[in-house]
Chains A and B, each alone.
Chain A
Amino acid sequence: MTEIVIVLSTAHAAALGSVRTFPGLLAARSGEEIWVRGIPAGKPDKKISVLPVMHTYFMDEQERLFAPAAQTPVAMLPALEWIPLLSFIKVTLPVSALPGVLEAPQRVKLVRRNGNVIIPGNDALLTSLEIWDTYVSTAPLVRLQHLYFAVSENREALIIGTPIMPLPGKTYILGDNILLPAGYDFDPPAITSLVTTTLNPLHDGILLFHENGHWEKIKFDCFVPATRSAVRLTNSMI
């Protein structure tokens, strides 16, 4: 005998979850039954032994099925669509509660961080195009080479990168492609990943949040390297 074949009721499919990672196991559905093959002959693993099986067969190389201790076959292995047990039993994440129904959409709110928190270095600055242009005009090139900027129609410049320059404007902290005003956080902070997956599912831009919870998405291709010519040209066109 080469292997053991077991048959379970589909009602007990979940029980196969405990053995789904065993190597070599194949499963197939046949009506209200689930057939599992690929169990090595001999003494099977304890987790397999405790499965609520309806039938157990030993199978020879000709795929003939024998009842335990029987000398003559009782059937041939049915022709089924065998797939690895790993694919047959899908994994779903457990839920801690029944999903609720939101009667009204929840607005994203920002709150000031409480206590003496250490704010990491600023990652972005929102300032006016005039201030940015004046700075870039005389700033050392080495200070600009790691900066990128985007400009809005109302002549506001958002500069990201390091080292951020000490200019008048609002400073922001970058994380998960979200720019939050320095000193602010989401309320509650744990919704950061939810905000990202909901508002920026393609990760193709940066979400700029304002203190009042309003936000805008700035696509990555709106940012250009902070060269003197780029800033001057932008200033002359807007």
Chain B
Amino acid sequence: MELTNFIAGLINDGKVKVVPELLAFEAEDLRLATIHLQQYYEDDIQEMPAAAPSFDENAALWAARYLYTAVQFILLRNLDETTMQEHLLPYSGELTPAAMYSADLTLRYLPDLFDLAKGLSPNDPLVKLMKETAQLWPFSSAGIPMSENTDLSVIFSHASLKQAYIDRIITARNLHKCQQPDCYPLVLEALGAYAADLWPQFEPSFND
């Protein structure tokens, strides 16, 4: 029940445990992990604006496994790049709003993994791989600096995801991201006439 316990720990108290070797997850573990993710989804959508995207079981499970394995690779430094690429596979399904949000249930902790991996070299294959993943899943990496070429079309195609993404940028006080042409008008609309009170640093950056 490694993956199930990992998800439960992540959701309940933010503390996780991984086994020190790369083993395949048991079928029962995957089944229970999916139930946990579904339950987490039901709770999480209560905080989502408007009607949240539906639950995509495959994307949710892929993200949980990816995160679990990434933590293992941060801790197990004896594993080579090839092994890493074999185990940290990208998502093979279609990138829909449902997939974006369902994967985010666990991928939202990916930025925290960068903190965990900050002792590693920026050129470390694991760091590069995680950055690529963060780039592909921008909804989960709203709070961290990313390339300006990030594709936000999936997020902006869904009203709930779009609002939640802008919320995250503002919560993270990410001035760089809110300056992106797609985001700026939405951030401006969210702050309205209260920008000076709600985010005092916001306006000056645009007057520079």
Chain A residues within 8 Å of B, Cβ to Cβ: 137-143, 162-163, 227-229, 232-233
B153 cross-chain contacts in A, Cβ below 8 A: none
Chain B, range 144-164, C-beta contacts under 8 Å to A? 159, 163
Q: Are B49 and A137 in touch, CB under 8 angstroms?
A: yes
Known: A138-B49, A142-B198, A228-B46. 13 other contacts (CB 8 A): A137-B50, A139-B49, A140-B167, A140-B190, A142-B167, A142-B170, A143-B190, A143-B192, A143-B198, A163-B193, A163-B194, A163-B198, A232-B46
User: Roughly how many angstroms separate A138 CA and B50 CA in the complex, as a whole number?
Assistant: 5
User: Roughly how many angstroms separate A140 CA and B178 CA in the complex, as a whole number?
Assistant: 14
Q: Are A142 and B191 in touch, CB under 8 angstroms?
A: yes
Closest to B198 in A: A142
Cβ-defined partner of B190 (8 Å) among A142, A162, A228, A229: A142
Q: Are A229 and B171 in touch, CB under 8 angstroms?
A: no
Interface size class of B (residues with CB under 8 A): 20 to 34
B190 cross-chain contacts in A, Cβ below 8 A: 140, 142-143
Q: Are A229 and B50 in touch, CB under 8 angstroms?
A: no
Looking at A139, A142, A143, A233, the one whose CB has the most chain B CB atoms below 10 A away is A142
Cβ-defined partner of B197 (8 Å) among A138, A162, A232: A162
A232 cross-chain contacts in B, Cβ below 8 A: 46
Closest to B43 in A: A229
How near does chain B come to A96, taking the closest CB pair, in angstroms?
Answer: 44
* B120 interface residue per 8 A CB criterion: no
Q: Given known contacts A228-B48, A229-B46, is B163 in contact with A140 (CB within 8 Å)?
A: yes
Q: Are B50 and A141 in touch, CB under 8 angstroms?
A: no
A228 cross-chain contacts in B, Cβ below 8 A: 46-49
Looking at A140, A163, A228, A233, the one whose CB has the most chain B CB atoms below 10 A away is A140
